[in-house]
Amino acid sequence: MKYRTIGTDPATRREVSVLALGAMLFGSRTDEETSFAVLDRYVEAGGTFIDTSDNYAYWEDGGQGGQSEELLGRWRRSRGIGGEIVIATKLGARPLASGTGYADNAEGLSAKVIRESAERSRERLGVDKLDLLYAHIEDHGVPLQETVEGFAGLVAEGTVGLLGVSNHATWRVERARALAAAAGLPGYEVLQYAHTHLRPRTDVPDPPLFPDGSLGHAGPDLLSYLRAEPGLTLVAYSPLLKGAYAHPDRLPTDFDHPGTASRLKVLAEVAKETGATVNQVVLAWQIGGDLPIVPLAGVSSVAQLEENLAAVDLQLTPEQRARLDGVH
């Protein structure tokens, strides 16, 4: 395994594995035995960065979520896992009632919600301190100042380490970070967005997630921001597009455009040259690039995890990387 540092403050920064493990469906669609087997193998391989959220996976049973955090809590206790494993979670998108969704009934990012939801996450995970806590989705009904101060208060109390933000417009991330800096408060240091080698169209709505079709993806503006702010790290979710590289029929509609074919062609060529799978090439491309990107891959079996783990040691040549970067 290889590692990188997230965060800049010596008091809160952490060293994490360059491949993060998504636990979204653990405890719901992925049963406990399989989830534990995947987690055990990930840690055995040197993995130290696990991702969840307080609303995972509410859509599986029409509830409010929490199954993933609860399973991770049981796994931690049964294995004696301590602070060596960084578990990141999110708040803000948990439905307020069963049978609803975050699009119309999310908990939001008020100071009250931040405090209460973080406490519930700590209880489910069985930890005194959340290593990394994200603002999951935007809340236009609460002033950014209140959200910034709410998160910073938890850091000051020692119940949260690093702060992150997911699925926000880049300008709102910058404004929140500027407010925090002006007040001498800790701000967002880890950004979590969808990112992969294929490029999505932003003019095609994606109703199940973000109606404007843009906020969930790390577009050029966000990547430019990441390049300009070297203290930030991008955690890239859905790097393998939920299996679409291996099963093209699963490709989301916003990737249905002429540029996709040329990018898939180059990926296939590099995979053939290296003897790797296309999935491994995508992950290796992210891990070894010039931007600080940590791919966050979810799996439902140990076999899938093994494929992903092998990508850590896949070395792309400068020429291969240039082809992958330059294709249009």
Residue 271 CB coordination number (10 Å): 18
Residue type, 131: D
* SS3 at position 274: helix
- When pLDDT is averaged across residues 223-241 and rounded to a whole number, the result is 97
Backbone angles phi, psi at 88, to 5 degrees: -100, 140
Residues 6+ positions from 43 with CB-CB distance below 8 Å: 79, 81, 85
Q: What residue type is assigned to position 13 of the chain?
A: R
Q: What is the pLDDT of residues 139-157, one digit of tens each?
A: 999 999 999 999 999 999 9
Asked if the model's pLDDT at residue 213 lies above 50, the reply is no
* Own/partner pairs, 121-125, CB within 8 angstroms, 24+ separation: 121/54, 121/69, 121/89, 121/91, 122/159, 124/54, 124/66, 124/69, 124/70, 124/72, 124/73, 125/52, 125/69, 125/72, 125/73, 125/76, 125/87, 125/89
- Give pLDDT tens digits for 78-99: 999 999 999 999 999 999 999 8
Q: Do residues 227 and 220 touch, judged by C-beta distance below 8 A?
A: no
Does the pLDDT value for residue 209 go beyond 80?
no
Residue 28 corresponds to which amino acid? S
Residue that is written with structure tokens 């679409």 in the block: 244
**Can you give the pLDDT at residue 206?**
53
Check whether 208 has a pLDDT greater than 80: no
Mean pLDDT score, 113-130: 98
Q: How confident is the model at residue 214 (pLDDT cuts 50, 70, 90)?
A: very low
Closest by Cα among 87, 92, 67 to 21: 87
Predicted TM-score (pTM) of this structure = 0.96
Residue 115 belongs to domain spanning:
3-326
Task: Please tell me the predicted confidence (pLDDT) of residue 212.
Answer: 46
Q: In this model, does residue 201 exceed pLDDT 90?
A: no
* Dist CA 212 CA 207 (whole Å): 8
- Residues near 272 by Cβ (< 8 Å), separated by ≥ 6? none
pLDDT value of residue 203:
76
User: Is residue 272 a contact partner of residue 264, using CB atoms and an 8 Å limit?
Assistant: no
Percent of the chain with pLDDT over 90: 90
In the chain, how many domains are there? 1
More confident residue, 204 or 49: 49
Q: Quick one: pLDDT at residue 215? A: 67
Q: Is the pLDDT of residue 58 over 50?
A: yes
User: Residue 281 sits in a domain of what CATH number?
Assistant: 3.20.20.100
What's the distance, CA 90 to chain centroid? 10
The whole-angstrom separation of Cα 284 and Cα 74 is: 32
